[in-house]
């Protein structure tokens, strides 16, 4: 079978390897869709923390069951997705139900090889029934679950202003689940086409271009001088993260979903006087995956609207670099396999 390796930043290589041999407690998946996310793009750029090369990328997956352990609950040919966070089950985080930040977590395509391959073997506990969702939808459950988890971390309430910084796929998911929670969403980005997408496709009521606007003044006008009670970063950009502290209401919550290699420093007096809450949001839990799939089935969220680019498995190497260029208008690239 073919596998695509990221040999080092900026370099992909297809290799022919043996099809995985099914072990007890595993399911062998025939990959049908691979969503391309920021983690993949940053790994290719060489800016992704927790990363070693060479690595097989790919964790936003939809697949068919090709083979499965005799004792599993899955059927041959069944459509499935996976939870790509392999955990120890015994550390303090796992014991309190926060498997998303397991001390020894192994994320597919980051810490261990992922699913940019024709076949991929996964422990049964991480395979999820498709429940009638399409392959496109199933491949988007994981990134949307990250958004759902971030909104849960922020404890978003109906009626409050939520500022989401970054209108990439994760940011869009955050906006969608903030909307579902009843919040008044404000999108902040430096790309006008993405802001237009937020307004016209996702019906986000407010948008600000951080490159051209006085962001503080605009936020004050939108919120009647209060400022957003929730600010969420989905940029992973250090400068944007630091600016976020200025946008937060007194008594507000600031959630860092985006990931940055460098240190962050901020004015303690400005943060302290707000009695603000600063938190991170990492990955997602099983409950987040279930919630996202339920929202899809109810029509509360339509993931197909995010897919702007499609390609085949054999074309990833040639097309990947173009997905890094904002001028190409990529929201979500989807790879079709088989």
Question: pLDDT-derived band of residue 47, with 50, 70 and 90 as boundaries?
Answer: confident
Residue 303's pLDDT is what? 86
Record the pTM: 0.94
Q: Assess whether pLDDT exceeds 90 at residue 260.
A: no
Residue 46's pLDDT is what? 85
Q: Is 265 exposed, middle or buried (0-12, 13-18, 19+ CB in 10 A)?
A: exposed
Q: Assess whether pLDDT exceeds 90 at residue 98.
A: yes
Task: Give the CATH architecture of domain 2-139+302-336.
Answer: Alpha-Beta Complex (3.90)
> How many whole angstroms separate alpha carbon 261 and alpha carbon 50?
9
Residue 70's pLDDT is what? 87
Instruction: Tell me whether the CATH fold assigned to 2-139+302-336 matches the one assigned to 147-280.
Output: no
Q: Which helix (H) or strand (E) holds 294?
A: helix 286-297
> How many whole angstroms separate alpha carbon 61 and alpha carbon 73?
19
Task: Give the residue-averaged pLDDT of 113-134.
Answer: 97
Q: Assess whether pLDDT exceeds 90 at residue 1.
A: yes
DSSP characters over 194-206: HHHHHHHTS--SE
CB half-sphere exposure, 207, CA atoms < 13 A: 23
Task: Give the residue-averaged pLDDT of 244-248.
Answer: 97
> How many whole angstroms separate alpha carbon 292 and alpha carbon 141?
6
> Could you tell me whether strands 161-165 and 230-233 are parallel, antiparallel, or unpaired per DSSP bridges?
parallel
Cα angle 135, 138, 143; round to 5: 135
- How much is the mean pLDDT over the chain? 95
Task: Give the residue-averaged pLDDT of 84-96.
Answer: 97
User: Percent of the chain at pLDDT above 90?
Assistant: 89
Q: CA torsion angle for 166, 170, 176, 180 (degrees, to 10)?
A: -120
Span 153-210, pLDDT tens digits: 999 999 999 999 999 999 999 999 999 999 999 999 999 999 999 999 999 999 999 9
Q: Assess whether pLDDT exceeds 90 at residue 42.
A: no
Instruction: Locate the domains of the chain by residue range.
Output: 2-139+302-336, 147-280
Task: Give the residue-averaged pLDDT of 229-254.
Answer: 97
> 230: closest CA among 300, 182, 289?
182
Q: Assess whether pLDDT exceeds 90 at residue 51.
A: no
Q: Is 305 exposed, middle or buried (0-12, 13-18, 19+ CB in 10 A)?
A: middle
Q: What are phi and psi of 15, to 5 degrees?
A: -135, 145
Q: For residue 324, what is the DSSP state?
A: G
Span 273-310, pLDDT tens digits: 999 999 999 999 999 999 999 999 999 999 888 999 99
CATH class of residue range 147-280: alpha beta
Residue 49's pLDDT is what? 74
């Amino acid at each position: 079978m073919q596998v695509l390796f990221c040999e080092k930043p900026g370099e992909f290589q297809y290799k022919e390897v043996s099809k995985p041999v099914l072990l007890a407690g595993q399911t062998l998946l025939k990959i049908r869709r691979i969503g391309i996310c920021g983690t993949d793009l940053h790994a290719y750029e060489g800016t992704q923390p927790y990363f070693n090369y060479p690595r097989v990328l790919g964790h936003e997956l939809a697949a068919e069951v090709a083979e499965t352990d005799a004792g599993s609950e899955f059927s041959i040919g069944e459509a499935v997705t996976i939870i790509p966070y392999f955990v120890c089950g015994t550390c303090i985080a796992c014991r309190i139900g926060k498997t998303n930040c397991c001390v020894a977590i192994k994320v597919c395509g980051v810490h261990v090889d992922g699913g940019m391959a024709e076949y991929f073997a996964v422990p049964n506990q991480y395979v999820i029934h498709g429940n009638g969702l399409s392959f496109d939808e199933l491949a988007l459950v994981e990134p949307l679950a990250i958004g759902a988890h971030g909104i849960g971390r922020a404890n978003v309430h109906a009626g409050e202003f939520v500022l989401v910084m970054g209108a990439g796929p994760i940011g869009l998911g955050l906006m969608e689940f903030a909307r579902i929670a009843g919040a008044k969403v404000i999108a902040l980005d430096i790309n006008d086409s993405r802001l237009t997408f937020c307004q016209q496709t996702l019906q986000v009521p407010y948008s600000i271009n951080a490159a051209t606007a006085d962001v503080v003044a605009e936020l004050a006008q939108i919120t009647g001088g209060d400022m957003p009670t929730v600010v969420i970063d989905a940029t992973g950009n250090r400068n944007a993260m630091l600016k976020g502290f200025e946008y937060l209401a007194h008594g507000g919550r600031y959630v860092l979903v985006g990931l940055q290699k460098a240190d962050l420093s901020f004015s303690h007096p400005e943060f302290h006087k707000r009695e603000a809450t600063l938190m991170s949001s990492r990955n997602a839990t099983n409950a987040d995956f279930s919630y996202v799939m339920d929202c899809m089935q109810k029509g509360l969220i339509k993931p197909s609207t995010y897919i702007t680019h499609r390609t085949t498995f054999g074309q990833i190497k040639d097309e990947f670099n173009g997905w890094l260029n904002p001028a190409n208008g990529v929201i979500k690239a989807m790879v079709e396999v088989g």
